Structure 1
Amino acid sequence: MTRSLENRVVIISGAAMGQGAAHAKLLSEAGASVLLGDINQALGESVAQEIRDSGGKAQFVKLDVSKADDWERAVKAAHDAFGPVTGLVNNAGISVKGTVLDCEDEVWQKVISVNQTGVFYGMRTVAPAIIAAGGGAIVNTSSTLGFHASPVAFAYQATKGAVRTMTKSAALALGVHGVRVNAVFPGLVDTPFIDGHRNNTGLDDSIGRTPLGRIAQPSEISQAVLFLLSDDASYVNGSELVVDGGMTAGSLGSLTPITAKDAS
């Protein structure tokens, strides 16, 4: 089944690269008009142009998600370019390593401002526009670290846990207005976000704990986002869609995969 987002207008934060760019491309292919927001103007403009060159409808706006005024400008830009806004993907996020003992004030405030306050501003600003348009959907990006802890990602996991409960609270408040709010929980994704962890044993160990034995491609997360924005998810609200290859399902322990020969 090909899901359709025809006549939908969707704002995507953090859309200049990685997951956000993949989301923008797939949603455009599904028929949506997409407004790409990011602080990286050069990359964001490039992705928007690529979408337009492929026949899609896309515009870029410079968006610092930690600034409420930027969100107001983004909603206006989307409306002016395409019409009433019907969807939001809160994708922007940053991560800085650190434990509870060495997380400095500046790092804590920065991660909170982007990953948590940015999601808050996005929902608070865009939801009224979606309500005015007659309803629609919001997808927030959490993480598998919204479920379980890591000693070296204290600030990051604090925000992703917050996004989990913020999503549920917003789903309760906005559902009565025809706005569904859900969250995706990606595991390891092959984007620049993990560049600093490539070629180290920690990443290899994480892949080894994933039943599917690999990291995800950005498009695989985008498919989950597309589903949650589409009418196929018309009764899905306040949900947690985990896309992690089974990493959070449990422990593999000493399980040895069954080969085709063993199964015959």
Structure 2
Amino acid sequence: MNRLTGKSCVVTGGGAGIGAAVAARLAADGAQVAVADIDGDAAERVARQLRDQGSEAFSGQVDVSATAQVEEFVNDAADRFGRLTTIVNNAGVAIPGSVEDISEDDWDRVLAVNLKGVWAGMRYAVPHLRSAGGGSIVNMASAQALVGFPGWAGYAATKGAIVALTQQAAVEYGAEKIRVNCLAPGTIMTPMNEEIFRTAPDPQALIEDWNSAHALHRFGESDEVASAAAFLVSDDSSFVTGTCLRVDGGLSILGPSGRAT
């Protein structure tokens, strides 16, 4: 299926996990894809795989908390592809800590990457989307934007802010045919979560506990989030904007203390 033929996309945090899956899905659906990641080698591995499969793709090392790097990469993508129609602002960091416990440095870092990075991606993509006659922005929020989880004050704050920022931008740019939506994944089997399980005292018990917090009683896979992202990028969602689409297996309807039976 080539429903994204003619779309040209930037994916931040595209070197692994959800971002890599999004890049692969957009390319498989016919889009041109620019893969950005703070790990430049990882970004290039993803872009090379896409090129090997016949897609037009390139990569760049980008720290999304550095706005000049975001601006340069977005402009480069528009130049290489001839225009830019899409940005998926996926890059993020997960730094734990309660309101009292999180350090100021960690607070500043999680806001700089998760929130400032999304703002920068939108800021520099919007002029290109406007020139293209419209387009789609997809921001990566989280189920933690919708329900409270102990010990994740900074992360939750940024993800909740992304939902609000998405709605604000949708209002500001809707008349220019620029749609802005966000995704709220639940627990997804990403390299970050795999590391948590590897280092847990009882990995199997932790996996079972996390599984039971979802109504579907399992984790999600990166490809499932990528499918939702492709929908929001495509014209199939042409009347969808300002929406936070949950891709969480029912996590947010149970809540962190809930358990599926």
TM-score bracket for the superposition, by shorter chain length: over 0.9
The Cα offsets for residues 176-207 of structure 1, whole Å up to 9 and x where unpaired, read as: 11100000000011111213431164543221
**3-state SS, counterpart of residue 184 of structure 2:** strand
Partner of 1:259: none
Partner of 1:219: 223
Distance 1:103 1:49, change over 3 A: same
**8 Å contact kept, 2:214–2:260:** no
Partner of 1:63: 62
Larger radius of gyration: 1
Aligned counterparts of 1:68 and 1:254: Cα–Cα separation in 2: 41
**8 Å contact kept, 2:32–2:55:** yes
**8 Å contact kept, 2:137–2:179:** yes
Partner of 2:26: 27
Partner of 2:47: 48
Partner of 1:150: 149
In structure 1, what residue type is equivalent to 2:122? M
Question: 1:135 and 2:134 equivalent?
Answer: yes
Distance 1:69 1:207, change over 3 A: same
Query: Taking every aligned residue pair, what percent have the same amino acid on both sides?
Result: 37
TM-aligned CA deviation for residue 151 of structure 1:
1.8
Query: For structure 1, which segment, 69-78 or 106-115, has the greater mean C-alpha deviation from structure 2 after superposition?
Result: 69-78
Distance 1:49 1:3, change over 3 A: closer
Question: 1:103 and 2:102 equivalent?
Answer: yes
Partner of 2:82: 83
Question: What TM-score does the superposition give when structure 2 sets the normalisation length?
Answer: 0.94
TM-aligned CA deviation for residue 250 of structure 1:
3.3
Aligned counterparts of 1:161 and 1:253: Cα–Cα separation in 2: 20
Aligned counterparts of 1:168 and 1:134: Cα–Cα separation in 2: 20
In structure 1, what residue type is equivalent to 2:230? L
Aligned counterparts of 2:195 and 2:21: Cα–Cα separation in 1: 20
Structure 2 unmatched runs, 5+: 198-202
Distance 1:84 1:255, change over 3 A: closer
**8 Å contact kept, 2:38–2:62:** yes
**3-state SS, counterpart of residue 97 of structure 1:** coil
In structure 2, what residue type is equivalent to 1:154? A
In structure 2, what residue type is equivalent to 1:220? E
Question: What TM-score does the superposition give when structure 1 sets the normalisation length?
Answer: 0.93
Aligned counterparts of 2:69 and 2:113: Cα–Cα separation in 1: 13
How many aligned residue pairs are there? Answer: 255
**8 Å contact kept, 1:97–1:152:** yes
Partner of 1:194: 193
Structure 1 unmatched runs, 5+: 257-264
Partner of 1:260: none
In structure 1, what residue type is equivalent to 2:249? G
Aligned counterparts of 1:34 and 1:192: Cα–Cα separation in 2: 22
